[in-house]
Structure 1
Amino acid sequence: MNYFSHLHIASITNTSWVGNLLGDFPVDVSTLAPDLLVGWRLHQQVDVMVDKHDASVHFRSMPRKGRRRFAGIVQDIVMDYWLIQYWAKFGSVPLGVFCDQAVLELVKDKDRSPERLKNMIASLERENWLPNLGTIEGVEKAILSIMRRWRYGEHLQYFLDDLPQIIEQAEAPFLALYPDLLDYVECEMKKAEATHSLG
């Protein structure tokens, strides 16, 4: 899951929106405030669950030119694409309302964010591009952004070359995975609340 999905999870778990994005940014976990740490941990749990899910394993094994070992990176981005396509099924408010709320919540904690996340939040303040993650152009831009800053980024070019097919391949895995992920997150939050109440 990528930015949009983690923000959705933050909204339904009532945890820090910035915290839920921190897993994608370099941070010193020992310095995080408790609310940010909860979000960071939730992000890690989500990533592990998604990676191990049968739907993810199936997606990574599909025939394509791009290497299987890098397919998970692209999967995260195209899962956001499909969450936006199916927003009426999974969202509790209209898409535009959610995207505006996401920016407001991120801005609240901008000053507690690492520099690269601060810059991302600032770009969202200037132009809320979250809905664009549900377009082919938005997916392409997100992959290109990773390619520019990652030393092995050139390996993602094969996925870009076949992007419409890659997106289509991800629809069924998304629909199999995301309801399970939401159930998992709800269960984990209940466990955390139970542990906190006992403590």
Structure 2
Amino acid sequence: MNFLAHIFLSFNDEEISIGNFIADSIRGNRYGHFPERIQQGIVLHRAIDTFTDAHPTHKQSSKRLHPNQGHYSRVVVDVFYDHFLAKNWNRYSEVELEHFAAEFYSLLKSRYPILPEPTRHLMPYMIRDNWLYNYATVDGIDKVLNGLYRRTGSKSNMNKAVLDLQLHYDLFEAEFSLFFEDLIIFSREKFNSLNNP
């Protein structure tokens, strides 16, 4: 899953949210210097990724993209699914998405000294362009995918992925809805197990 889902699936725990957000910037087991709850957020992030990659519905979405996106298909699906989470946000949260995003940006700023360098580099762009909120629009997702395209050195087709989204929009949305219900259950169980080892 992409940023919005990982933050949402931290269940309003600030330290878990930070760990869940920065996990992709952490190599291997090099996170022992973080506070315990942030470490647990990193563990939760990795568990979510493992569950996601193995889930048959996520695989189905990825397979549809494979002819155009190749080995980037799973990354693109993660971005698509964040779009559908943002678009249908009120189905999952009582807090408005705009407020949720603003609160997380404030949290990030307050934890800046402990953030890994890749996260520090990403943060100003994320906040300036309000990624979390703008995931709710196709244009917002298109900008994210074009950013990822540039980060691959223009070696992917992610700059064209929004065409796949538009072509199969209802199918991707239905698959997201099925998948995300399972992911919420899994993530809640994993979150609870971290609280009660």
Contact 2:83/2:137 (<8 A) preserved: yes
Aligned runs of 1:36-51 on 2, under 5 Å? 36-51=38-53
**Cα deviation, residue 29, structure 1:** 2.5
- Aligned twin of 2:59: 57
Q: 1:72-108: CA deviations, max 9, x gaps?
A: 0101101110001111110121122211111111112
Contact 2:138/2:162 (<8 A) preserved: no
Contact 2:69/2:156 (<8 A) preserved: no
User: How many matched pairs?
Assistant: 195
| Range with greater deviation from structure 2 (102-111 or 120-129) | 120-129
Aligned runs of 1:6-45 on 2, under 5 Å? 6-12=6-12, 15-27=15-27, 28-45=30-47
1:83 aligns with 2:85: yes
Tell me how far apart the structure 1 counterparts of residues 65 and 97 of structure 2 sit (CA, whole Å): 33
Structure 1 residues 116 and 60, CA, compared in 2 at 3 Å: closer, same or farther? same
- Aligned twin of 1:69: 71
Q: Where do 5+ consecutive residues of structure 2 fail to align? A: none
Structure 1 residues 135 and 6, CA, compared in 2 at 3 Å: closer, same or farther? same
Structure 1 residues 95 and 55, CA, compared in 2 at 3 Å: closer, same or farther? same
Structure 1 residues 63 and 154, CA, compared in 2 at 3 Å: closer, same or farther? closer
Give the letter aligned to residue 81 of structure 1: H
Tell me how far apart the structure 1 counterparts of residues 11 and 70 of structure 2 sit (CA, whole Å): 32
> Equivalent pairs: percent with the same residue?
21
Structure 1 residues 191 and 172, CA, compared in 2 at 3 Å: closer, same or farther? same
CA RMSD of aligned residues (A): 2.3
**Cα deviation, residue 46, structure 1:** 0.5
Contact 2:65/2:73 (<8 A) preserved: no
Aligned runs of 1:128-143 on 2, under 5 Å? 128-143=130-145
**Cα deviation, residue 164, structure 1:** 1.4
Q: 1:95-131: CA deviations, max 9, x gaps?
A: 2221111111111212211222113323344453321
| Range with greater deviation from structure 2 (154-163 or 56-65) | 154-163
Q: Where do 5+ consecutive residues of structure 1 fail to align? A: none
Structure 1 residues 153 and 106, CA, compared in 2 at 3 Å: closer, same or farther? farther
Q: TM-score, normalised by structure 1?
A: 0.86
Q: 1:1-22: CA deviations, max 9, x gaps?
A: 1011111112445543221112
Give the letter aligned to residue 20 of structure 2: N
